Amino acid sequence: MSELAMNPTIAVEQAEWKLPDRGRVGLACLIVTEFALFSIFVVAYLFYAGKSLRGPTPAQVLEVPVWATVCLLSSSLTVALAEHALKLEEMAAFKLWTGVTVLLGLEFLRQTAREWHHLILDWHLTIGTNLFGTTFYSLVGLHASHVVVGLTLLLLALTLVVLGKMDGEDRRFGLLAWYWHFVDAVWIVVFTVVYVVGR
Amino acid sequence: MATVGHITDHLSGPEPLSLPTKLHEWVVTVDHKRLGLLYIATALVFFAVAGVLAAMIRAQLAFPNGKVLPPDVFNRFFTMHGTTMVFLVGMPFFAGLANYLVPLMIGARDMAFPRLNAFGYWMFLFGGLLLYFSYIGGEGLAGHGTAPDVGWFAYAPLTERAFSRGTSTDYWILSIILSGIGSTVSAINVIATIVSMRCKGMTLARMPLFVWLMLVVSFMVLMALPPLTAAQTMLLLDRYLGGHFFDTQAGGSAVLWQHFFWLFGHPEVYILMLPGFACASEIIPVFSRKPIFGRPAMIGATVAIGMVSVGVWAHHMFSVGMAAPSNIFFAAATMMVGVPTGIKLFNWLGTLYGGQIRFDAPMLFCIAFLFQFLIAGLTGVMLAVVPFDWQLTDSYFVVAHFHYMLLGGLLFTLFGAIYYWFPKATGRMLDERLGKWHFWLLVIGFHLTFDPLHFAGVLGMPRRIYTYAPGRGWEGLNLLSSIGVVFQAAAVSCLIWNIVRSLRRGAVAGNDPWDAWTLEWETSSPPPEYNFAVLPEVRSSRPLWDLKHPEDPDWKYE
């Protein structure tokens, strides 16, 4: 190999050899494939919209979850603030913003749980009731499970910082923030499909 | 004696490892080369199993009113054969090649995520074992069924609980979801490796074609597997939580499954084929002693195939009664795939043209691939014509077509790749004489088996029937087809014997037995754990040519 390395190199070749960060590339790929997964469930939801043979229908039972949406979307902002604070090594601010993000995520999940509780107990709508129930619970549930994964990872990051095992040099929190933004972005799609178009 | 032994051990380097330690090292390894070999070895084992299943199927069909297999066993065998070949042989074999070769070809020391890599392999392995465990556990608590018998595309609602009782279908679903997760993480890893780990000077324009094609395949995996995973999840929800995705009695759709499945299934065909193209694109230039003809066109054609292939899925569904505009769209899109594929074929021919061709085993397999792949492509274009497809869909013509593609195209390049890279992975050459036996027996067996099936299909023989009555003109064709299996089995035995023999007694290969041009031939055979002592720096698409011919390097012209 030494011969190759010793070849006279022209100026262009001397330019710095810099490639994208592998973590970011990997996470971008994960987001692409997750997006494809969600789009199949979205297609199924739209395909079956209005095709249930019996009620209840979305128009009867669904209420637009404004508060949950506000919580989840604003958590994108707080996670960005946390990321910024971590880069500046301001650990107190980092803990604050990550904590707020986790609380907002938990509140979102609580709202989802309340909605489901209402649907199941008051309307007797389960996954087996009709096509609406089948597609609704699977799409919203798929998204909620991603929120759970994101929250688990955020709590893990918070623990690592508290234990002093993660600092501003660590690029992993940036990746986690990407993932969290992705979960938020998917909610915009789910929200539009389920509560705006599908109702 | 013990002391003397101890001293010589000490002198000859580290103590030889005990067998458990060695095995343990393979289990805990995160080295891309070891994982690559694990993938390939496991795929070959599954290949042998699926081959035995296929041989049994052909034995049953050799004569009319065959009595070798009962109908329910026959259904299980073709289901297991198809599922195994696609998910446990085709995909992992090339995951193995990509794992082994991509880091070496781009001058890296490992994949981007070595532990994720190991995770992917173990997911695939346990997915495969789960599928075969169904033979034991498939009866489940309900006591119905053993192995899955729903066919490899498992059309709903036949897979719903009402029609597929017991747990055999669940084994099929879960094992494919598992191995799908393995394929997805492996694809993520390949992309991240190619994007982020290239050695200095390895621009995208200089990347070997093999690496380019693996990059495209990996993107296709990311886009194509989620529809399958989603559809399988929906099926599980139907089966266990009482969902209605594919339940026609509650308004669900049977056609939706077909759309989702083929939205995966057709890109999957190219996911299987492109790695075969990748191997041919490395082997043909080296054995023609010429650089590949039309390199940029090759890359462009690959990307085009990748893009068009996600828009052709419904050509598997012409007979379900889609609207005419859909039929026309998917027929036209399917024929369009022929254009970039034709470009590739002509470029390989252009590489051969005027070259100093060496007919070693790897090259023989690639040349047979060119002929057979052409025929497979032509029958493919025939099936893209909607009325023709209405006539011949689900007949043996289709079986012959896709086996021409996957055996005549894919398997031949796969064997070529084994002969080509075996010296790099083991340090020893495969025997050339046995290789020629392997090649000619396989050519004879392949054509005997699959050429007659085209005619059987045209004569109206439907696929998946477990037997047939005499007097329809199918007997002779089926018998010929089954005789071909004997030759194919002999050919594969030659390969196995060749591998076993050459591992011990093969000629020592040296670093670069084929006088090739890509970086993997620069390091030792087998490569050290760190691949390259000094990370290479490249200035053209044939770095080893530059190294060997400093008076006339490629980079002056690129």
Per-residue buried b or exposed e for A151-171, using 16+ beta carbons within 10 Å of the residue's own CB: bebbeebbeebeeeebeeeee
Sign for the pseudo-dihedral over CA of B359, B363, B365, B366: negative
Compute the nearest-CA separation of B543 from chain A (Å).
8
* Residue A67: burial class (beta carbons within 10 Å; 0-12, 13-18, 19+): exposed
Q: What is the Cα–Cα distance from B501 to A42, expressed in whole angstroms?
A: 55
Within 10 angstroms of residue B92's Cβ, the number of other Cβ atoms is 30
Residue B6: what pLDDT? 44
Cβ distance of B534 and A5 shorter than 8 Å: yes
Could you tell me if B547 lies within 8 Å of chain A, comparing CB atoms? Answer: yes
| Cross-chain CB nearest to A36 (options B226, B237, B536) | B226
Domain that includes residue A66, residue range: 2-197
Tell if the CB–CB gap between A40 and B230 is shorter than 8 Å: yes
pLDDT of B122 reads: 96
**Could you give the CA distance from residue A142 to residue A78 in angstroms, rounded to a whole number?**
23
Q: Is the pTM of this model over 0.95?
A: no
Dist CA B283 CA B420 (whole Å): 7
Phi-psi region of B487 (alpha: psi -120 to 50; beta: other; left: phi over 0): alpha
Determine contact, residues B60/B71, Cβ cutoff 8 Å: no
Residues of B in contact with A33 (CB under 8 A): 184, 187-188, 222-223, 225-226
| DSSP per-residue codes, B361-378 | HHHHHHHHHHHHHHHHHH
* Residues near A178 by beta carbon (within 8 Å), at least 6 away in sequence: A24, A27, A28, A31
Out of A30, A53, A134, name the one closest to residue B243 (CB): A134
Nearest CA in chain B to A20: B196
Burial class (CB in 10 A: 0-12, 13-18, 19+), A24: middle
Task: Identify the pLDDT of residue A7.
Answer: 47
* B242 in contact with chain A, both atoms CB, cutoff 8 A: yes
pLDDT reported for residue A167: 80
Best of B195, B248, B264, B310 to substitute, by most chain A Cβ atoms within 10 angstroms, is B195
B163 Cβ partners below 8 Å, 6+ apart? B157
- Count of structural domains, chain B: 1
Angstrom distances, CA of residue B170 to CA of B145, B147, B175: 11, 10, 8
Residues 207-226 of B with CB under 8 A from A: 222-223, 225-226
For residues B103 and B518, the answer to whether their CB atoms sit within 8 Å is: no
Nearest by CB to residue B543, choosing from A4, A22, A138, is: A4
Cβ atoms B213, B277 nearer than 8 A: yes
List the CATH number of the domain containing B426.
1.20.210.10
Q: What is d(CA A131, CA A147) in angstroms, rounded to the nearest whole number?
A: 24
The answer for residues whose C-beta is within 8 angstroms of residue B419's C-beta and 6 or more apart is B360, B361, B362, B365, B430, B435
Distance CA(B360)–CA(B515), nearest Å, equals 13
Beta bridge partners of B508: B428
- Structure confidence by residue, pLDDT tens digits, A10-62: 444 556 888 999 999 999 999 999 999 999 999 999 999 999 998 899 999 99
Chain A positions touching B192 (Cβ under 8 A) are 22, 25-26, 29
What contacts B51, CB < 8 A, 6 or more positions away?
A: B488, B489, B492
The tokens for B421 are 């890279």
- Tokens in use for A164? 């002093």
How do residues A118-132 score in pLDDT, each as one tens digit?
Answer: 999 999 999 999 999
Q: How far apart are CA B384 and CA B377, in angstroms?
A: 11
Asked whether the beta carbons of B101 and B520 are under 8 A apart, the reply is: yes
Query: What pLDDT score was predicted for residue B35?
Result: 96
Asked if B117 has any chain A CB less than 8 Å from its own CB, the reply is no
Which residue type is seen at A79? Answer: V
Contact A134 B245 (CB under 8 A): yes
| Residue of A3, A22, A41 to mutate, testing the B interface (most B Cβ within 10 Å of its Cβ) | A22
B8 within a domain of the structure (yes/no): no
In-domain check, residue B68: yes
Q: Residue B225: its chain A contacts at CB < 8 A?
A: 33
- For residue B20, say if its preceding peptide bond is cis, omega within 30 degrees of 0: no
Going from the C-alpha of B430 to that of each of B39, B289, B362, B417, B522, the distances in angstroms are 20, 21, 10, 12, 20
Q: Contact, B181 vs B121, CB < 8 A?
A: no
CA B440, CA B336: separation in Å to the nearest integer? 34
Non-local CB neighbours of B129 within 8 Å, separated by 6+ positions? none
Q: What is the DSSP letter of B249?
A: G
Interface of chain A against chain B, CB under 8 Å?
Answer: 1-5, 7, 9, 13, 17, 19-22, 25-26, 29-30, 32-34, 36-37, 39-41, 44, 47-48, 51-53, 126-128, 130-131, 134-135, 138
User: Of B444, B116, B331, B335, which Cα lies nearest the Cα of A23?
Assistant: B116
- Considering chain A, what is the average pLDDT of its residues? 91
Largest CA distance in chain B: 85
Interface probe for A, chosen from B113, B181, B188, B203 (most Cβ of A below 10 Å), is B188
Instruction: Report the gap between the CA of B250 and the closest CA in chain A (Å).
Output: 6
Terminal-residue alpha carbon distance, chain B: 63
Fill in the DSSP letter of residue B199.
Answer: P
- Reduced to 3 states (helix: H, G, I; strand: E, B; else coil), residue B537 is strand
Give the dihedral sign, CA A141/B221/B216/B105: positive
Q: Say how many CB pairs under 8 Å bridge A and B.
A: 128
* Domains in chain A, number: 1
CB within 8 A of A110, min separation 6: which ones?
A: none
CB contact under 8 A, A22 and B112: yes
Q: What is the CA radius of gyration of chain A?
A: 22
User: What one-letter code names the amino acid at B9?
Assistant: D
Enclosing domain of residue B326: 32-556
Helix (H, G, I), strand (E, B) or coil at B31: coil
Test B251 with A131 for CB contact under 8 angstroms: yes
Q: Are B546 and A7 in contact (CB under 8 A)?
A: yes
Q: Which residues pair with B537 in a beta bridge?
A: B200
Answer whether residue A94 shows pLDDT above 70. Answer: yes
Given CB atoms, is B136 within the 8 Å cutoff of chain A?
Answer: no
CB B430 within 8 A of CB B422: yes
Give per-residue burial for B115-128: e unless 16+ CB within 10 Å, then b: ebbbbbbebbbebb
Is B307 in contact with B223 (CB distance < 8 Å)?
Answer: no
Task: Kindly tell me if the per-residue pLDDT of A179 is higher than 50.
Answer: yes
Among B192, B233, B532, beta carbon nearest to A22? B192
The CATH number for A52's domain is 1.20.120.80
Going residue by residue through chain B (558 aa), what tens digit of pLDDT does each one get?
344 444 444 445 566 778 889 899 999 999 999 999 999 999 999 999 999 999 999 999 999 999 999 998 999 999 999 999 999 999 999 899 999 999 999 999 999 999 999 999 999 999 999 999 998 887 766 666 688 889 999 998 899 988 888 888 999 999 999 999 999 999 999 999 999 999 999 999 999 999 999 999 999 999 999 999 999 999 999 999 999 999 999 999 989 999 999 999 999 999 999 999 999 999 999 999 999 999 999 999 999 999 999 889 999 999 998 999 999 999 999 999 999 999 999 999 999 999 999 999 999 999 999 999 999 999 999 999 999 999 999 999 999 999 999 999 999 999 999 999 999 999 999 999 999 999 999 999 999 999 999 999 999 999 999 999 999 999 999 999 999 999 999 999 999 999 999 999 999 999 999 999 999 999 999 999 999 999 999 999 999 999 898 888 888 887
- Contact between chains at A19 and B201 (C-beta distance less than 8 A): no
Q: Which amino acid is at B299?
A: I
